[in-house]
Structure 1
Amino acid sequence: MAGAGPAIGLRGAREIAERIAALRADAEEGPLCGSQVELIDTLLAVRETCPFALEHLRDLSVDLPGLAQAIERFERRCDALEARGVDTASLGFEASYGRTSMEYYDGFVFGFLAEGRPDLPPVATGGRYDALTRRLGDGKAIPAVGGVIRPGLLLQLGGEA
């Protein structure tokens, strides 16, 4: 790091050195075996209505027991939606949703799409991002949820969303 020039930014030399050490340790880890990759691919391919997604996820949890808590939270969320009159049997679930467009979200994420309009972006998106507040709060965790609604898109759809 000494030959990299003057330090610019908010990270100190210690934090940078720790990050470099973590990256090196990660690089030394062996690759996932084929069966692990296959399980992850199968998990990310889950795209069903909520009841069928829960069933599929429970089946996967036999080989991926670390999913158990997330599946329980998802089931409780579905129960809460049902209690509020939402028909979860018609509500879609996509395990890979948000992986490339909602990077700082670390929990449940959602998106509302205009039915029959795959040409349009989501009408609304959001989710949980507790880890971000913990990181920005210097270790102090604050439960956080947020989202965005695109009013122009709602107007364009004329209330059909």
Structure 2
Amino acid sequence: MAGLRLGLWMKYLAGFRLAPFVPTPEHVGLAMLKLAGVCPSDMVVDVGCGDGRLLISAAKHHGARGCGLEMDALLAKQAVSAIEREALAHMITVLHTDALHASSQLQRASVVTLYLSDAGNARLLPHLQRQLPQNARVVSFCWPFQDLTPSRIQRVDGIALYLYDFNALHNSSPS
């Protein structure tokens, strides 16, 4: 696993990823889902889903369907395996794809979860502004969207979670 993480950090530093792979702690993921008000009618899209843990929590604890976007093939396979072990494949799909090319998934999202980077959020924002449906919510762990005002901020272990609603995203001009 250490080799995988080092390789993903190198891809991030070279500009090929929106963020390095750093797993979201389970209690932080649960707080993100609660802050976004995830419910059974939601479609949660996890950008950079890694090993799928946030999607599994959304399905198990909130009854929500999910779609993971992961550009690293090995992580996408790990996420699929974890989802199958939890018997949640009927609720969650994982796509081996770049989030910047996943417009149809973003168009179906009612909640988007992120743990990217400042630069990753900046690159993704125009796609969110163009693709997200009305009433969608975006929750970002650690990194805010620059020049946007979050609807709410919550701290977990001293680190901020930022919640943005559709209006906050769309009342700013796309980059």
Same fold (TM over 0.5): no
TM-score range with shorter-chain normalisation? Answer: under 0.3
Q: Which has the larger radius of gyration?
A: 1
TM-score normalised according to structure 1 size = 0.26
TM-score normalised according to structure 2 size = 0.25
Structure showing greater relative contact order (alpha-carbon pairs closer than 8 Å, 6 or more residues apart): 2
